[in-house]
Amino acid sequence: MDMKSLLAALVCAVAATGGAAQTATLAQSVSGKELGDPQRLTAYEDSYAVWNQMRNNGWTSKDEQSLRTKLSFKYTFCGPQFRRPSRSDRNDTGASAEARADSWCPSAGKWAEAELFFGYTAEFDYYAGTRPSGPVLGRVNAPGLFVRLPAKLFLDKDWKDADGLELGLQHRSNGQTREVSGERDARVAGEQYAAGNRQFFDTVSRGANFLLIAVDKELPKPPVGERLTLRAKLRVYLGEQDSAVTWGPLANSGRKFSDYDRLQLHAWWRFSRELQFDVNWRLGDRGLATDSWTLGAEFKLGSVPLYLRLHRGPMNTLSNYTQQQDSIGIGIRFASF
């Protein structure tokens, strides 16, 4: 299938479903439902497909064009399943925390309002017609187990449904197998870096485990627009990080993911039913010297949510996370976090 055919199929899929976010903010509790019940599965973080162009700043030539795709979903085991605000509905509905008597989930009290879920996020580049054989290149695989506690559970009842605390244990890796830590591997990596072979570094293995602490807060209605939502996410890395850099100007400098990706601040401004903006700022242990930005704009054209995505700085690809990269992509967003 060529790129035009693939994009057409994706557009048709979105048009047929009306987008993954066409639901109320909170669904009924899934506690006690059968494990195969489709209501347990829903969108988690952003899901999109954009025609992407990436440039490596200060190093080598720009990357070939690709279809950058991110897919993210969650499977709820217990509790009211939290869902993001709809693109079309202005009013949010509450949740029912009823559970069957034979459910192993809490059926009464405050803990019946907590959501326990499995989340999975995948990101990949599809180089159709731009690289030999048009490979699909894995960028991120991130499974995790999470619990979401609504703010109403431990704070004043006047807090909104979108306000809450999320705790999780997550693994993030890129699914590649090339190691660059040994002496011989480091020498090869250095030679490939000097030659500007960016495709070599797409295959470098990366991974880490961490505890995740996230706080969501919906601010009062902004002077302009409908909704302004903030999310702060903190990563506490566990054990060793598979993140060694053995090439280029940062070779053997002890760089880690935590130097670039400790705190993540994300803001969404829903201007109207048709228009939404978002900004994502990553900050690491080295402060502003290693921060990065991602900006997004979504415009709904009929039933198709068009999406423009801009990135500046490191953490654009996990395999070469320290590299300063600019990228621009335009396509469609299936679901907005």
Residues 6+ apart with CB under 8 A from 336: 21, 46, 84, 87, 268, 276, 278, 298, 305
CA quadruple 106, 109, 111, 115: dihedral sign: positive
pLDDT at residue number 101: 45
Q: Confirm if 216 and 164 have CB atoms less than 8 A apart.
A: yes
Mean pLDDT score, 279-283: 98
Residues 6+ apart with CB under 8 A from 329: 50, 51, 52, 53, 68, 307, 308, 309, 310
pLDDT band at 4 (very low <50, low <70, confident <90, very high): very low
pLDDT band at 26 (very low <50, low <70, confident <90, very high): low
Across the chain, mean pLDDT equals 86
Cross-strand pairs, 217: 230
Question: Which is more confident, 40 or 22?
Answer: 40
The tens digit of pLDDT for each residue in 91-126 reads: 444 444 444 445 678 777 777 889 999 999 999 999
Q: Does the pLDDT of residue 247 top 70, yes or no?
A: yes
The CATH number corresponding to 3-96+104-335 among 2.30.40.10, 2.60.40.10, 3.40.50.2030, 2.40.230.10 equals 2.40.230.10
pLDDT band at 27 (very low <50, low <70, confident <90, very high): low
Mean pLDDT score, 307-329: 97
Which stretch of 44-53, 222-231, 260-269, 310-319 has the lowest confidence by average pLDDT? 222-231
Q: Does the pLDDT of residue 261 top 60, yes or no?
A: yes
* Residue 134, phi-psi category: left (phi > 0), alpha (psi -120 to 50), beta (remainder): left
CA quadruple 128, 131, 132, 137: dihedral sign: negative
pLDDT at residue number 77: 93
Pairing of strands 136-150, 263-270: unpaired
pLDDT band at 5 (very low <50, low <70, confident <90, very high): very low
CA distance 180 to 187: 9
Exposed/middle/buried for residue 182 (C-beta within 10 Å: 0-12, 13-18, 19+): exposed
Residues 6+ apart with CB under 8 A from 73: 41, 42, 43, 44, 47, 119, 120
CA distance 96 to 79: 9
Q: Does the pLDDT of residue 300 top 60, yes or no?
A: yes
CA distance 107 to 94: 17
Pairing of strands 287-301, 275-284: antiparallel
Residues 6+ apart with CB under 8 A from 94: 26, 161
pLDDT at residue number 85: 61
In the chain, where the domains are located: 3-96+104-335
Exposed/middle/buried for residue 227 (C-beta within 10 Å: 0-12, 13-18, 19+): middle
CA distance 279 to 281: 7
Locate 144 and state its tokens.
Answer: 């995790």
